Amino acid sequence: MTSNWVVRAVGAMCLVLLMALSAIGQDEPATPVGSGGASTPTAPAAVPAVRQADNLAVITIRGEIDAVTSASVQRRLKQAEEAGADAIVIELDTPGGAVGAVTEITGALKSSNLHTIAWVRDDAYSGGAIIAIACDEIVVSSNATMGDAGIITMLGFQEGIPANERAKITAPLIAEVVDSARRHGYDEVLVQSFLTLGVETWQVRDKRTGKSYFLTEREYRALFGEAPPRDAEPFMASGGEIDLRESGERLYSDGDSGDRRGTGAADGTGDAGYVPGSDQVTPGMTESTNLSLSTMRTPGSDRPNFSDEDPSNFEFVRYATNGNAFLTLTTPGLRELGFAKAVIDTDDELRQFTGTPKGQLARLDRSWSESLVKVMTQGVTGMVIRAVLIVLFLLCMFIELSMPGAGVFGIIALAALACLVVPPMMINAAGWWPAVAVAAGVLLIFVEVLIMPGTAVAGVTGLVCVLGGLMGTFAGAGELFPGQNPGSGADLAWAASIVLLSVFGAGVGMYLFSRYTKYIPIANLLILQDPPRPQESMLSAMGASVDPEAPASVGDEGVATTRLMPSGQAEINGQFVDVVAEGGAIDQGQRVRVISATRYRVAVELIPDDQPTPDGTEASS
């Protein structure tokens, strides 16, 4: 009996062990994306419901952020939403880029109904950092770096920009990061140090909640009633930049050293107002920032009014930032200060972080057409390509006007114009008006040359329209007219410089074409040549080769039925013939003589009024 009981007990234990092993095998984590397998694993139970994503879309942002990047990210974001994604990951590896493009991307992310996660892999400088904190959560790779969002223009860093222009550029970005901080729980003073110099802070912790705050000197004095300590190195070193506090330099001052606080509580805190992180911020920038925050419908601040707080409820942690440089953090700092929720290096780790089943992670990269548009419109390469296209357009239009009827150069000019206008329109970086302006300008130039020669009004107006339209193709993202958005003056200057240099290059090409084309084989047959002297006209006609398919013969006479400028029509031998006048314009009704004729081109010259007609009578004027 005893032995049977032992056998039964051992058997039961083995059965339980087998069932446990089977359950473990069924619950093992999913394999990396693309590794095969048909079953869908159970999502990790520890994933918060807001982050849980059965379908996860990864949108990559690599390289410089520009108008093409903005249009591409918005397209892919819409594609992911329509495809049924539950969450969006913005994978960042960027040095930053254009302010307008960055704010368009952050606006699209904040207006999305999907949970957004920024994955800094590996760098998110400047605009990349602003995009990262605009997302609901941030994760980083093992060697990530984020920050240094100081504005750079043609004039250098923002301290080289006039005060009014600086406020227009910087205030919306300060409002952008403060809005992101309030939405996602970051310290709204600390985030300002990413893009504003002079943000000197001290970290304190609320003993009741465990939440940390980064206090300005004014807030520290209001809370503890004494000057904050500066006897230790700040936690986030500045990298050896100029010490603003010791030098007394005010990079942002515009002559007013008064109160720079927001419109909330007495010390600049509270729901209604923004807390300037630096004493270098001007009143104008503070006012503009508050206006931007109200326009963005930013949530109210939960930052305490430290002048009303009991200092015993707070403990000093450390001297955090000295404000001598734009804040830049690596992975450990991002983790310690609460920006990064996790360290993730692979798609499999990302999938586990979001509880995404195997095979349900989709990558959405920039399309080949967007890459092509980027090459043609952005950066130094885009400027060079567009300059070449402008030269090609102007030169081919000149050649087409010089030898009407050839057609091929007109086609090339139209193709160059399409390459200038269409790519920016594809990414919404320019409106429809540049194409209309250029087309109207070309039409007016044709009117000046062919219909109203010598008036100059149509020609000058047409030239202005063409140049304005070409500059319009350089307009930034979302601009209806170039130069009208804050900070776009530098872009407009670049556009004007490139267009003017291209016009100069085209002018040189026109001169060379006019002077030396007659020496170029084949091309010399297309350009209008100098007319022969009157005494040589008959000899030239007698020696000319005869083309049996020509609509007229050398020596035939007729009457111009339209004004020849230089092309038009003439009635010759009872037929209307397309002709080209050599030696100057010929008015309608004047007599003409054919001096060369082929099946493709008939050239005529003016017959003076004193020469007799073929019937022996003198022509009457």
**Cβ within 8 Å of residue 308, ≥6 positions away:** 265
Query: Exposed e or buried b for every residue in 371-406, given b needs 16+ CB within 10 A?
Result: eebbebbbeeebbebbbebbbbbbbbbbbbbbbbee
- Span 180-208, pLDDT tens digits: 999 999 999 999 999 888 899 999 999 99
Q: How many CB atoms sit inside 10 A of residue 63's CB?
A: 16
CB 477 within 8 A of CB 428: yes
For position 518, what pLDDT does the model report?
56
Task: Please give the angle made by the CA atoms of 414, 418 and 422, to the nearest 5 degrees.
Answer: 165
pLDDT at 473: 72
Length of the chain: 621
d(CA 589, CA 563): 8
The mean pLDDT values, 10 residues at a time, for the chain of 621 residues are 45 45 37 35 64 94 91 94 94 92 93 95 93 96 92 52 60 90 92 90 94 93 93 68 36 33 36 71 78 82 90 94 90 92 94 92 90 81 86 84 69 84 68 76 75 68 82 57 48 76 85 67 48 43 57 89 83 87 83 86 84 55 41
Q: How far apart are CA 466 and CA 470, in angstroms?
A: 6
Mean pLDDT of the chain: 76
pLDDT of residue 163: 52
What is each CA distance from 562 to 404, 552, 566, in whole angstroms?
15, 17, 10
CB 79 within 8 A of CB 392: no
Angstrom distance (rounded) from CA 498 to CA 472: 12
CB-based contacts of 606: which residues, under 8 Å, 6+ apart? 581, 583, 584, 586, 590, 591, 592
Confidence at residue 80, expressed as pLDDT on a 0 to 100 scale: 94
For 27, other C-beta atoms within 10 Å of its C-beta total 11
Q: What gap in Å lies between CA 517 and CA 343, rounded to an integer?
A: 67
Say how far apart CA 103 and CA 97 lie, in whole Å. 11
286 phi/psi in degrees, rounded to 5:
-65, -45
Beta bridge partners of 603: 580, 596
Residue carrying the six token digits 């991307």: 105
* Domains of the chain, start order: 47-148+327-366 (3.90.226.10), 157-324 (no CATH), 383-524 (no CATH), 530-606 (2.40.50.140)
pLDDT digit string, tens, across residues 3-35? 454 445 445 544 444 444 333 333 333 333 333
Mind spelling out the 3-state secondary structure of 315-341?
A: EEEEEEECCCCCCEEEHHHHHHCCCCC
Tokens 């240094």 label which residue?
148
Closest CA to 177 of 146, 204, 203, 156: 146
